Amino acid sequence: MSTRVYLAVDLGAESGRVMAAVFANGKITLEEMARFRTGGVLLPDGWHWDLLRIYADIRTGMASAVATHGDEVVSVAVDTWGVDYGLLDEGGHLLGLPWMYRDARTDGMMKVAAETVKAEELYRRTGIQPMFFNTVYQLLAETRQHLTVVKAAARLAFIPDLLTYWLSGERTVERTIASTSGLLKAGTAEWDTELAAMLGIPPAILPSVSEPCTMAGHLRGEDGSPGKIEVVLCGSHDTASAVAGVPSAGKNPLFLSSGTWSLLGRELDAPLVTAATATAKFSNEQGLAGTTRFLKNVAGMWLLQECKRNWEAGGEKLEYESIVAKAAGTATDVFIDPDAPEFSRPCDMPAVITAWLEKSGQAAPSTRAGLTRVIFESLALKYRVLLRRMKEWMPDFPDTLHVVGGGSRNALLNQMTADASGLRVLAGPSEATALGNVVAQMIARGDLASLAEGRALIRDSFEIGEFTPRDTAAWDAKAVRFEKLLSES
């Protein structure tokens, strides 16, 4: 088979990339064609994504890829974070910059929704963990604060759908990203229009849902005419692509997609919606090949990202590798709940963590390394709690956890996770999201027959790190105190 190049546009909450995946001689190699910031802008009415700049950066990166690889570039697909959206009018024009999911306009919306539909009923219908930033609560806020915009809207488009539309001219809403909204019926491609109407969200703005691993159209040139490069619908929620990029040889793998968020869970054949999973706040998002991503959102590297942002506020430049190395050389005996609401918004994170520790009767570390160690140990212990809860529901529970994403390069946290959980940890690839994006493109084009075949290709193309549990008794002792802290906080 001749060399083919697939472009993965992979956008996270902190940064975005255009990656060229070169398929030759039965293996994939990745080349970064562009990297850019994806952060938002604070406007008078709140925080928005600077999506026009992001789109310009995407086109620049794609142009660089075409300049490098020419006619070998065959397709492109876009994946991004979940829940956020834009509203389009009848002509396809964007009605304002999309809101950022951490904007405060959703404050109180969960309570407002519960006056009409209890959280338990929302979960039963959609399988999605109620969280303040879910699309359903964002739209609820919009109908109360910006009703004129909602009335002018003809359809909703999630962030990757918007970018796919601008690239191809085709208006689609892809299934995996739609499943993050809290408005799609669990395990289906059907909107819960009754639920939307009950909450005052116009059902008419919810368009039909398209499947991943299908064609959207062709890349438009500057004059709007279609070109040769195909635009594909991948698992356009970045976690869907990350899980597709898990290099598991077996069925229904455990996964931890480690980035700004830690998405911890297991790929299942069908949703798992019970009273116990509702209480534990696990979500049933959708994946490639009809799978369910049964998972729990944990704060993840957001905590360290916010610490780093504050530490650099005075002009100092810090590297994550150095921060992690210093944390490896220190010790701590205190913990936080990574998912405490105090940590959910942009803030002076070092000060907020210190205040949380002191409020819980613990002595806060006085160094950056100490605070970093607190974050990592608390994350590892939170993973342990959630994994053990999952094991209660799954008699065939695996003995291996696949860690993918940028956090898979963090050997310190990987070892902590193995020690705390008692599971073997296989770490990598760090670019699982881009690779899962590419696998979807290859399936859509007929270059791969299945998701399993794509995972085998990833295993053959990239090295995977291995971490085995050690010193588990010490972590058992930590876990007792950590779980007591969770129960009291």
- CA dist 236 and 422 (Å) reads 32
- CA dist 120 and 382 (Å) reads 23
How far does CA 305 lie from the centroid of its chain? 15
At 383, give phi and psi (nearest 5°).
Answer: -60, -45
Q: Tens of pLDDT along 109-154?
A: 999 999 999 999 999 999 999 999 999 999 999 999 999 999 999 9
Pick from 20, 4, 15, 56: nearest CA to 39: 15
Helices (H) and strands (E) counted in the chain, each on its own, are 18, 17
pLDDT at 489: 78
Q: Are residues 296 and 373 in the same domain?
A: yes
Token pair belonging to 395: 């008699």
Q: Are residues 44 and 150 in the same domain?
A: yes
Percent of the chain with pLDDT over 70: 99
- Residues spanned by the domain of 384: 246-428+449-489
Confirm whether 333 is a catalytic residue: no
Q: Are residues 330 and 478 in the same domain?
A: yes
Q: Are residues 218 and 127 in the same domain?
A: yes
Say yes or no to pLDDT of 284 above 90: yes
Q: Are residues 161 and 91 in the same domain?
A: yes
Q: Which of 185, 201, 233 is the last residue of a domain?
A: 233
Q: What is the 3-state secondary structure (H, E, C) of 436-465?
A: HHHHHHHHHHCCCCCHHHHHHHHHHHCCCE
- CA dist 236 and 169 (Å) reads 17
Token pair belonging to 443: 């399936």
Q: Are residues 39 and 185 in the same domain?
A: yes
pLDDT at 340: 96
Q: How confident is the model at residue 227 (pLDDT cuts 50, 70, 90)?
A: confident
Q: How confident is the model at residue 226 (pLDDT cuts 50, 70, 90)?
A: confident
Helices (H), 363-405: 368-393
Q: Is 32 left (phi over 0), alpha (psi -120 to 50) or beta?
A: beta
Q: Are residues 151 and 255 in the same domain?
A: no
- CA dist 187 and 395 (Å) reads 22
**C-beta of residue 21 within 8 angstroms of C-beta of residue 435:** yes
Pick from 431, 429, 454, 434: nearest CA to 444: 454
Task: Assess whether the previous peptide bond of 98 is cis (omega < 30° from 0).
Answer: no
Q: Which of 181, 209, 233 is the last residue of a domain?
A: 233
Say yes or no to pLDDT of 223 above 70: no
Q: Are residues 310 and 188 in the same domain?
A: no
Residue in the structure block whose two tokens are 């993918």? 404
159 within domain boundaries: yes
Q: Are residues 229 and 327 in the same domain?
A: no
Work out the average pLDDT over 245-262.
Answer: 94
Beta strand 400-404 with 4-11 is: unpaired
pLDDT at 235: 98
75 within domain boundaries: yes
Say yes or no to pLDDT of 418 above 70: yes
Mean pLDDT of the chain: 96
102 within domain boundaries: yes
CATH number assigned to the domain comprising residue 46: 3.30.420.40
How far does CA 320 lie from the centroid of its chain? 20
Q: Is 488 left (phi over 0), alpha (psi -120 to 50) or beta?
A: alpha
Select the more confidently predicted residue: 406 or 375: 375
Say yes or no to pLDDT of 216 above 80: yes
Say yes or no to pLDDT of 224 above 90: no
pTM: 0.91
238 within domain boundaries: no
Q: Which of 10, 84, 192, 238 is catalytic?
A: 238
Number of domains in the chain: 2
pLDDT at 331: 93
Q: Are residues 21 and 83 in the same domain?
A: yes
Q: Which of 211, 233, 255 is the last residue of a domain?
A: 233
Q: Are residues 173 and 55 in the same domain?
A: yes
316 within domain boundaries: yes
Torsion angle defined by CA atoms of residues 190, 238, 258 and 370, in that order, rounded to the nearest 10 degrees: -110
Q: Tens of pLDDT along 8-58?
A: 999 998 899 999 999 999 999 999 999 999 988 999 999 999 999 999 999
65 within domain boundaries: yes
**C-beta of residue 265 within 8 angstroms of C-beta of residue 291:** no
**Beta-bridge partner residues of 75:** 6, 230
pLDDT at 442: 98
Beta strand 262-268 with 226-233 is: unpaired
Q: Tens of pLDDT along 466-480?
A: 999 998 999 999 999
- Lowest-confidence region among 217-226, 294-303, 391-400: 217-226
Kindly report the CA angle at 107 between 106 and 109, in degrees rounded to 5?
65
Helices (H), 169-231: 175-178, 193-198
Pick from 431, 457, 440, 459: nearest CA to 1: 457
Q: Are residues 155 and 21 in the same domain?
A: yes
Torsion angle defined by CA atoms of residues 76, 79, 83 and 88, in that order, rounded to the nearest 10 degrees: -20
457 within domain boundaries: yes
Say yes or no to pLDDT of 454 above 60: yes
442 within domain boundaries: no
Beta strand 73-79 with 226-233 is: parallel
